[in-house]
Structure 1
Amino acid sequence: MRVAKTFSDAVSPLRNLYHPVQPTITEKDNDVVYQEFLPAQQLQPFVYCYWELRTIKKLEVPFQYRVVADGCIDIYFDLHNPIESYVMGFCKNYTEFPLEHQFHYVGIRFLPTMFPQLFKVDASILSNRYQYLRDVIPAPAQFIQENINSKLTSTKMVSTIDSLLLKVLAASDFNNDPRLYGAIQNILSRFGVVNIETDLDTGISARQLRRLFEYYVGDSAKTFAKVVRFQNILRAKPSTQSLQHNKLFYDAGYYDQAHFIKEFKNFYGVTPSKAFGR
């Protein structure tokens, strides 16, 4: 665990700088609940949260769940059918999932770069798609199938996933490349408002930096910065009035309001005024 500890110390600022949100469950969805849980302390530099999306009672109509762009890679599965677990890669647009009348999904949201670091999987092959976990990392898929089911309490579910990931962490060998993590921390500390050519001078060529981002994040530094900028606006929860009259989109690095609305809708699926409900 010494290597893991050294690496976790180096990348721990990521968790402090980045707090990805999934805000599409609203008050009107009162029969659907979304919750997040912290992993074990040792895992927190790598895993942002475990999450749970479930129905309280059987819905009258199927549910459309929208996942917004957040820069992360997730493992997820339905507790009622853990034999079918999935991994969803970095997405540069929103994704809609048509769900049934009843469901109980559980997920693991990895901080940027951490899924490839832990499992030695090229993030670019997962980008903008989801696929069976067993086809990507068979052993964790088998563990989920054998150890997690709908009879577990939330507390037991968390501790069971912790046990899986702590074993993975103990066996991991990390690439602590300061050029990559220097660039990522620069993007996060500037809330995604960066000039990729001038603000990310970490001592390597643009081609090398792109290669690192594609392998460990899943897309280019430019696309990652756009997602970070979008996520920062989500956390700010601006009113429509502030968006229109205070020109927040300029401060966030957008050219004009039309550019802001177009990019926001691409990442979220609806316009800012509809997303913020004002």
Structure 2
Amino acid sequence: MLSAIRRLYVPVQPTVSGHNGQVGYVEHLPAPELQPYIYCYWQLQTREQLQEPFVYRVVADGCIDIYLERCNPAAAYVMGFCRRYTEFALENSFDYIGIRFLPGMLPLLFGVHAAELSNRYEALDSVLPQLAAFLAAQADPALPVTQLAALLDAYFLGRLGAVARADMRFYGALTMILERSGVLNIETELNTGLSARQLRRVFAQYVGDTPKTFSKVVRFQHVLHAKPSAQSLKYNKVFLDAGYYDQAHFIKEFRNLYGVTPGHAFGR
């Protein structure tokens, strides 16, 4: 069941645009054994110094990320589930490395409570001090990213033997939401053997928010993955197929999760 999550869910972040190719974003796959848990290792870097600071927008994707600036690897952070977009004001020159965990997987690997990280970022050394120490020692700016990825693979593969037993009722509920692209009635269609109270508790523990909020993010991500044109959104009413009540509902929720309107995101 865990391996199905990656097949069912592809978290999308906007491509870096503007700045004439001076800023690049690249994703790297982890080792095959880690792919049910880690979606990717990513790098966001300037290829040459910018004339002005760079604002990077992260859209809601249901995942938990660990990230650090390679020139200061001791200052690593973990960013929890976010129910809206987040913007980071970066410097004129930067080289960030990140680890994106699929929904529910960082808590499974490390035993952290996801709700304690939600809608904010925390210093990694206050949450996972051993991992923070490992990153501080290994994330040398001169080390090629492929070699750093191999070191990360080795570290996380070593964690697999210590993974706690997964609550398959939670992962069953997670899978059902992903199979339906977030379009379902949580109260009546999420039949997992858990009461509504238990379901909220396990989603807070593993995801960091309620099943309803997580489903909203999944539905939004499904629209991003479909890459609709602005014209198809306007005339084909794609948002209705995605479970939104009407265009106003879609635009309001999209803007909250992305930071701009659908027309701006997909081109007018």
Q: Same fold (TM over 0.5)?
A: yes
Larger deviation, residues 245-254 vs 44-53: 245-254
Residue 30 of structure 2 corresponds to 39
Provide the secondary structure at the position in 2 that maps to 1:77: strand
Find the aligned partners of 1:169 and 1:76 in 2 and give their Cα distance.
Answer: 21
Equivalent pair of 1:20/1:231 in contact (CA under 8 Å): yes
Post-superposition shift, 1:27?
4.9
Post-superposition shift, 1:24?
4.4
Find the aligned partners of 1:241 and 1:53 in 2 and give their Cα distance.
Answer: 31
**In the alignment, structure 1 residue 23 sits paired with structure 2 residue 5:** no
**In the alignment, structure 1 residue 259 sits paired with structure 2 residue 246:** no
**In the alignment, structure 1 residue 234 sits paired with structure 2 residue 224:** yes
**In the alignment, structure 1 residue 126 sits paired with structure 2 residue 117:** yes
Amino acid at match of 2:108: Q
Equivalent pair of 1:71/1:112 in contact (CA under 8 Å): yes
Equivalent pair of 2:27/2:41 in contact (CA under 8 Å): yes
Post-superposition shift, 1:44?
0.6
> What count of residue pairs does the alignment treat as equivalent?
268
User: Which runs of 5 or more structure 1 residues have no equivalent in the other structure?
Assistant: 1-9
**In the alignment, structure 1 residue 277 sits paired with structure 2 residue 267:** yes
Residue 155 of structure 1 corresponds to 146
Find the aligned partners of 2:258 and 2:94 in 1 and give their Cα distance.
Answer: 23
Residue 6 of structure 1 corresponds to none
Find the aligned partners of 1:74 and 1:231 in 2 and give their Cα distance.
Answer: 16
Residue 164 of structure 1 corresponds to 155
Amino acid at match of 1:86: Y
Find the aligned partners of 2:42 and 2:17 in 1 and give their Cα distance.
Answer: 16
**Could you report, residue by residue, the CA deviation over 1:231-271 in whole angstroms, capped at 9, with x for unpaired residues?**
01001111111111111111111111001000000000000
Q: Which of residues 96, 100, 118 is equivalent to 2:91?
A: 100
- The 4+ residue runs of structure 1 with deviation greater than 3 A are none
Alignment of 1:200-211 (within 5 A): 200-211=190-201
- RMSD of the TM alignment (CA)? 1.0
Find the aligned partners of 1:277 and 1:79 in 2 and give their Cα distance.
Answer: 34
Please give the TM-score of this superposition, normalised by the length of structure 1: 0.94
Q: Which of residues 234, 239, 245 is equivalent to 1:244?
A: 234
Find the aligned partners of 1:92 and 1:244 in 2 and give their Cα distance.
Answer: 25
Equivalent pair of 2:170/2:199 in contact (CA under 8 Å): yes
